[in-house]
Amino acid sequence: MRPTHATTSLTALAFVAGAAFAAPQDDPIKPHPAAIEDLAPQSIMVDLAKAGGTVVAVGARGHILLSADGENWRQAPSPVSVMLTRVRFVNDKIGYIGGHDAAILKTLDGGETWVLKNYKPELEQAIYDLHFFDADNGIAVGAYDLFWRTADGGDTWEPIDSPVGQGELHHYSITALNDGTLLIAGERSMLARSLDGGDTWERIVSPYFGSYFGAVASGPTGAVVYGLRGNTYYLPNVAALPTTEPDEYAEYPLGEMPEGGAIEVKAPTTDSLFNGVSTPNGGALLVGVNGTVLRYAPGATKLARVPSGTSAPLGDIEVLGNRLVLAGESGVTTISAN
Amino acid sequence: MAASSGATGAWTQKILAVVEPLIYGKRWVGILWLSVLTVLLAWQAAQLKPDAGFEKSIPLEHPYMQVFKQYQADFGGANTVLVALLQKGGEDIYNEEFLEKLKFVTDEVFYVPGNDRRRVTSLFTRNVRYIEVVEGGLSGANVVPADYRPTEENFELIKTNVGKADIIGRLVTSDQRGALVQTELLEFDPATGEKLDYRRVAKLLENIRGAVTSERKWEYKLTEAVGTKEAGTVVATWYSEPSRLDKLFGKTNVITANEDGVPITVPVSNRDLEIVESANENYSDQVSVHIIGFAKIIGDVTDATLEVVGFFLLTLLMTLVLLWLYTGSLKLAILPLVCSIVAVIWEFGLLTTAGYGLDPFAILVPFLVLSVSVSHGVQYVNAWVSEIADGRTSYDASLETFRRLAIPGTTALITDVAGFATIYLIPIDIIREMSLNAAFGIASIIITNKVMMPIWLTYVNVDAKVFEKKQAFRDRLFAPMFRLIAKVTHRWPAAITIGICIGLLAIAVEKYPDLQVGDAQKGVPELRPDSRYNQDSAAIVENFDLGVDILKVVAETDPEACRFYHTMEQTDRFLWQMQNTDGVQSALGLPTYMKLVYSGFNEGHINARILPRNANAMALLLSQFPSSTGLLNTDCSAMAMFIFTEDHKAGTIEHIVDEVETFNTANAERFAAVHPGTDLGACADKTALVRAAGQTNLEYKLRNDRLVALDANSEEAKLLQAEADELKAQLDEQRAQIAAVESPCPVNFALATGNVGVMAATNEVVTEQELQVVFWVYVVVVIFLFLSFWSVAGVLCVVLPLSLVSIMAYAVMAWLEIGLKVATLPVVALAVGIGVDYGIYVYATLIDGIERGLNLEDAFFDTLNKTGKAVLFTGVALGVGVGTWLFSALQFQADMGILLVFMFTANMFGAILVLPALARFMTKRKDGTRPADN
């Protein structure tokens, strides 16, 4: 048997999306606050962050959950009911959430209350990641080249004018490495970096032709990048990798990887990896579909499986004392860190 | 002896004056027409066919069921059959033997008659697919490859595919040690309109089980050529030992062809076939098979019928023996029994004549008829014996008895008929059938008991001396007890008795709210909890996540509207709201899967489990979902929302249904708030139009389907065609009206289909109608009682104990956790029917004594001697007989047995203890004086 490949790929979808189509009686779109429901902690949760001692989880239907121990969760009111994709804290109090409908939410009280800073459903674009240099200055990346920055704490957002944002691709993550290099990982082998705090950007060569879903800082200059079907690479020195030109993009532009520029880290699975968290000494924990939790030890060429007790897709992981908090299709749970 | 009392005395005299000569005049005329009628009706009764049906057990007029019918072709109904295969031992299902059996069972289920082949679902059917994300797009295929061979690689592949297809818990058990084959039955063959033979389906399903789990098989071979089939050809294979009955009288349909090669079906008697037993090479000791579904329930209930008839005969036999002991004459003991059996024959004859069959769930009705008939028969024979003992001739004794009992007896029976007729108010066909069935039976008793028996008794010759002695002996035996009971007519004993009754009433009223509507238990309440069926049901519920209780809500919108985000967002929010509702195990539907596929388009990312706002992206998603998925209809104007419930208790269902309605209203308001120009009134009208168009469409389709099988030039076809054309025009008109509604409208969440939807509708109907039925039963009873006694005291003396027993019967049901449902509902009328006999006989005799000038105690003592004996005898005899039902394999026969025992005895106590106590404070003579105070 040969599986029949569905002809649909993402670019095809993007192309169709570009065609004008007027829905006769479509939404006068307004944000609807999320419903507070008992089962929210069991709904799809995709991202986690820590605000001081509190873990904040975000996910489907605008759900925002707070917990001190990872076991008991309470739902914080949310001004939107769309899927929230990312939560980032600048410090214990100030934090931002990104989501579909280009929603950006901000908190000033450690996640208890959230204000809607940006909501543009008509763009049909999602925010996939946020990076804030301080309370006011930050960058948002997302679907179909969404690439914005703010200088006023999220009140206004300007598109970043860069060739990196001109390929109709999803930018899945933006990560600050330990040497200050910013790394964007995204769809179809996309890796881009900024060496000047986000002012200028350039594509860099990629060891893999598929999509990356994220990166974790590892070592003084390095990063672990991971993505579709368990593909994981350790890039020892991101700042030193050669660039490639966007207009040279082939179907899957890889560029020429120098010797030792990327080290493949074998995953014991072909499950896609969506998110990760760095652990002390340059290690990382990565999570993905089918309840996959993998541990990266510095210098290793293989990822080790951590039993997660679930087979549901996972969206994120966070370390909380001796527990690991998992967010995924069936909500938020904890497992032992040992 | 005065016939009766009060103003009715004159009436009854008049009636008797007319009726008596008819019966006692030319007796041979009576004998002749009774015999002719009995023979005719017996011949009709012999044609009685078992007639089971799913649709007649549901309230088709209920709005939910209109939704059910409207979308049955799209989303199926509730007539599901599940066949589960479980691997024994610790292994998973991915091995040669299990998969081979699963494939075998899937194929066999596919060929079960009446099954909707599009809905057969298992790992081996093509409607079960998986999708996975690969670089550059999506990949999807059948879970089991089309060229499946039992190899290790394939086992691994199937295991992986099952994981990807999101079917664990549904088609494969959570621990992957079992798998399911699922299908749905169509009650009527769309082309021929022929009704499904449920017993045959049940038998074939059982045979599928046998094919895997039986070590032996029995092949039926032709002994001579039939059509093109040669002698020796195997024409049927059964996996359980054929019964002697089947060998002798069974028939096997041989599908063959005639000389011209045209396929024909020839029924061949099993006597002309050779039955060869051999080892079943398909047998597996590794796999167990569990089957559930309405068809299987019908099969199991029908299979138990033989046993039911056994209990029926046992009851008869016990009554006969007791009667014999009581009367001292076998001849007399047989008489009421024969009359009762004749009544049942008449009942069946009338039922067949009226065009009905006997439903397995109505199997108890003839027993009830029999019980009532025996009760009246005993009264009659008892009174006749008393007359004989007083030295009258057979003829005079019969006439005297007739004068005394014909009017109260007939009144009691007419009250019964009316009582049973009132349950006809409940708009569920099977209950209406039971109502007619019972009414026919009781009406027959009026003739057999009040015409046949009196005539017969005039011909019975007995030695009066023997009876006299017996009578004297019985009187001596019972006298002390009767004297004691008669004391209940004194002031204090009467007050205490009434006090106890008020106490019992209070307890019963307190217990009443616990009465369950619908089914409270797991599995089906008709069968024993440890029956094969309920064990199968438990095994399936335990091993599969998604239970067998499904409420399907139909989300209705405009054609093609489900590619709009705002439409699907409403359904998505609905499912989430339902998921958060108590009693809901899980809720899923089209948006659930659209989100999954959209995530697939986005490389499987969990943060893309959303509905895209872009209409083209939505359209692309929708293209992945043909209507064969059962999630949406062809133009996507309706989507099925599946709500799996934790159980099917009435409270759970009611709560969920309420939540659906609350959501529907709130959603409409929210929609109107954000969509300017929304006119919710117009939207409600539109929903009504959609429903009306749905019903028109059904009628239209029905005629079209019939037309296929007809010769286009026949008169019938022309008539049908004309009707179809008219309906089509009507449908087009309705559709135009729907399209003309200008206001944007919210999605309408229409209740309901699925088995829980059916239960919701049934429970609503039962709850709504039940008290109404009881009310009308009592109205009828009161009217007839008043007509017979012409006094308020008489009505109260009979009705009060009766209603106490009715209320207590509900309390007993609540206490025993017997739910009020289709099978047990007739109990309502029954509780009244049985008791009213006793009350009427006792009160009529009592008032008679009082009018003759006796004081209350003596009048009641006299009553006990005359009719009280018979009441006691009937109460005990029928109570003991029906008590044996407790051992029946059918739970509902056992439940009925308990309730009947309770009612026979409670009404007996009501008539001989409570009635006189009430009479103590109520009765007056017709001249207004109270009876002498003892």
Least confident of A34-48, A71-85, B442-456, B918-932: B918-932
Query: Nearest Cβ partner of B603 from A39, A228, A328?
Result: A228
* Contacts B606 to A, Cβ<8 Å: 44, 46, 274, 289, 313-315, 328-329
The rounded distance, in Å, linking the Cα atoms of B34 and A24 is 76
Q: In the structure encoding, which two tokens stand for residue B484, read together?
A: 């004691």
Distance from CA of B63 to the nearest CA of A (A): 30
| Whether the predicted pLDDT of B746 surpasses 70 | yes
Distance from CA of A236 to the nearest CA of B (A): 25
Tens of pLDDT, residue by residue over B127-182, are 787 766 666 566 677 888 888 888 988 898 888 888 777 787 778 888 889 999 98
Q: Which residues make Cβ contacts (< 8 Å) with residue B28, sequence separation at least 6?
A: none
**What domain range includes position A251?**
37-336
CB contact under 8 A, B579 and A39: yes
Query: Digits of tens for pLDDT over chain A (338 positions)?
Result: 333 333 333 333 333 333 333 344 444 578 999 999 999 999 999 999 999 999 999 999 999 999 999 999 999 999 999 999 999 999 999 999 999 999 999 999 999 999 999 999 989 899 999 999 999 999 999 998 899 999 999 999 999 888 776 678 899 999 999 999 999 999 888 899 999 999 999 999 999 988 999 999 999 999 999 999 999 999 999 999 999 876 555 555 567 888 889 999 999 988 899 999 999 888 999 999 889 999 999 989 999 999 988 888 899 999 998 999 999 998 999 998 87
- Beta strands A191-194; A202-203: pairing state: antiparallel
Residues 277-306 of A with CB under 8 A from B: 289-290
CB contact under 8 A, B580 and A37: yes
Distance from CA of B775 to the nearest CA of A (A): 44
CB contact under 8 A, A17 and B616: yes
Tens of pLDDT, residue by residue over B365-390, are 888 888 888 888 888 888 888 888 88
The rounded distance, in Å, linking the Cα atoms of B102 and B154 is 15
Q: What is the pLDDT of residue B446?
A: 93
Higher pLDDT, A10 or B190: B190
B134's enclosing H/E stretch is: strand B129-134
Q: What is the pLDDT of residue B715?
A: 87
Higher pLDDT, B662 or B388: B662
Q: What is the pLDDT of residue A286?
A: 97
Distance from CA of B184 to the nearest CA of A (A): 30
The rounded distance, in Å, linking the Cα atoms of B616 and A145 is 19
What is the DSSP-derived secondary structure letter of residue B451?
I
* Contacts B580 to A, Cβ<8 Å: 37-39
Distance from CA of B139 to the nearest CA of A (A): 5
Q: Confirm or reject contact between A4 and chain B (CB < 8 A).
A: yes
Least confident of B21-35, B682-696, B842-856, B868-882: B868-882
CB contact under 8 A, B141 and A1: yes
Q: Confirm or reject contact between A19 and chain B (CB < 8 A).
A: yes
Whether A46 contacts A27, CB under 8 Å: no
Q: What is the pLDDT of residue B558?
A: 92
Plot region of B11 (φ>0 → left; ψ -120 to 50 → alpha; else → beta): alpha
DSSP string computed for B493-511: HHHHHHHHHHHHHHHHHHH
Q: Is residue A82 part of a domain?
A: yes
CB contact under 8 A, A274 and B607: yes
CB contact under 8 A, B614 and A272: no
Best probe of the A interface among B598, B603, B624, B747, by most A CBs < 10 A, is B603
Q: Please, which residues bridge with residue B891 across strands?
A: none
Q: What is the pLDDT of residue A7?
A: 32
* Contacts A189 to B, Cβ<8 Å: none
Higher pLDDT, B920 or B523: B920
Query: Nearest Cβ partner of A3 from B140, B579, B617?
Result: B140
Average pLDDT over residues B794-811: 91
DSSP 3-state of B231: coil
Q: What is the Cα Rg of chain A in Å? A: 19
User: Largest Cα–Cα distance in chain A?
Assistant: 57
The residue of chain B nearest to residue A187, with distances taken between CA atoms, is: B603
Q: What is the pLDDT of residue B787?
A: 83
DSSP 3-state of B169: coil
Query: Nearest Cβ partner of B617 from A13, A209, A328?
Result: A13
Report the sign of the C-alpha dihedral through residues B436, B442, B446, B448, in that order: positive
Coarse DSSP helix, strand, coil percentages of chain A, rounded to the nearest 5 percent:
10, 40, 50
Whether B129 contacts B123, CB under 8 Å: no
Q: Confirm or reject contact between A213 and chain B (CB < 8 A).
A: yes
Q: Is residue A209 part of a domain?
A: yes
Q: Confirm or reject contact between B583 and chain A (CB < 8 A).
A: no
The residue of chain A nearest to residue B618, with distances taken between CA atoms, is: A17
Count: domains in chain A: 1
Q: What is the pLDDT of residue B667?
A: 95
Q: In the structure encoding, which two tokens stand for residue B415, read together?
A: 């009250």
Average pLDDT over residues B608-625: 89
Higher pLDDT, B232 or B628: B232
CB contact under 8 A, A3 and B580: no
Distance from CA of A124 to the nearest CA of B (A): 6
CA A32 to chain centre: 24
Q: Of the ranges B23-27, B628-632, B838-842, which is most confident?
A: B838-842
Query: Nearest Cβ partner of B615 from A1, A21, A38?
Result: A21
Distance from CA of B611 to the nearest CA of A (A): 10
Whether B854 contacts B929, CB under 8 Å: no
Q: Is residue A174 part of a domain?
A: yes
- Beta strands B80-87; B178-184: pairing state: antiparallel
Work out the pLDDT band at B549, boundaries 50, 70, 90.
Answer: confident
CB contact under 8 A, A228 and B616: no
CB contact under 8 A, A27 and B674: yes
Plot region of A299 (φ>0 → left; ψ -120 to 50 → alpha; else → beta): left
* Contacts A170 to B, Cβ<8 Å: 602
Q: What is the pLDDT of residue B931?
A: 67
| Whether the predicted pLDDT of B726 surpasses 60 | yes
* Contacts A6 to B, Cβ<8 Å: 131, 137-140
Residue type, position B390, single letter: D
Q: What is the pLDDT of residue B10?
A: 67
Q: Is residue A152 part of a domain?
A: yes
Residues 71-100 of A with CB under 8 A from B: 81-83, 85, 100
CB contact under 8 A, A1 and B577: no
The separation between the first and the last C-alpha atoms of chain A, rounded to the nearest angstrom, is: 42
pTM: 0.83
Strand order in the sheet with A45-51: A45-51, A54-59, A64-67, A74-76
Token pair 């010797």 in the structure block, residue: A259
Averaged confidence pLDDT in chain B: 86
* Contacts B616 to A, Cβ<8 Å: 16-17, 19, 21
* Contacts B137 to A, Cβ<8 Å: 5-9
Whether B765 contacts B426, CB under 8 Å: yes
Q: Confirm or reject contact between A274 and chain B (CB < 8 A).
A: yes
State the CATH number of the domain containing residue A242.
2.130.10.10
* Contacts B604 to A, Cβ<8 Å: 228, 272, 289, 313
DSSP 3-state of B638: strand
Q: Is residue A25 part of a domain?
A: no
Q: Which residues make Cβ contacts (< 8 Å) with residue B463, sequence separation at least 6?
A: none
Report the sign of the C-alpha dihedral through residues B538, B542, B546, B551, in that order: positive
CB contact under 8 A, B576 and A17: no
Q: What is the pLDDT of residue A6?
A: 36
**Angle ∠(A4,A5,A11) on CA atoms, nearest 5:** 160
Q: Is residue A105 part of a domain?
A: yes
Q: Confirm or reject contact between A35 and chain B (CB < 8 A).
A: yes
CB contact under 8 A, B576 and A37: yes
Which ipTM value was assigned to this complex? 0.90
CB contact under 8 A, A39 and B580: yes
Average pLDDT over residues B736-762: 92
Best probe of the A interface among B172, B545, B606, B683, by most A CBs < 10 A, is B606
* Contacts A58 to B, Cβ<8 Å: none
Q: Is residue A98 part of a domain?
A: yes
Q: What is the pLDDT of residue B700?
A: 92
Query: Nearest Cβ partner of A28 from B565, B608, B675?
Result: B675
Tens of pLDDT, residue by residue over B105-131, are 999 999 888 888 888 889 998 878 776
Work out the pLDDT band at B928, boundaries 50, 70, 90.
Answer: low
Average pLDDT over residues B663-670: 95
Q: Confirm or reject contact between B137 and chain A (CB < 8 A).
A: yes
Q: How many CB atoms lie within 10 A of CB B732?
A: 12
Average pLDDT over residues B275-279: 91
CB contact under 8 A, B606 and A19: no
The rounded distance, in Å, linking the Cα atoms of B748 and B684 is 9
Which backbone phi and psi does B909 adopt, to 5 degrees?
Answer: -65, -40
Q: Confirm or reject contact between B146 and chain A (CB < 8 A).
A: yes
| Whether the predicted pLDDT of B63 surpasses 80 | yes
Tens of pLDDT, residue by residue over A258-313, are 888 999 999 998 889 999 999 988 899 999 988 999 999 998 999 999 998 888 88
| Whether the predicted pLDDT of B641 surpasses 90 | yes
* Contacts A38 to B, Cβ<8 Å: 580
Q: What is the pLDDT of residue B546?
A: 65
Q: Is residue A115 part of a domain?
A: yes
Report the sign of the C-alpha dihedral through residues B550, B551, B556, B562, in that order: negative
Q: Confirm or reject contact between A27 and chain B (CB < 8 A).
A: yes
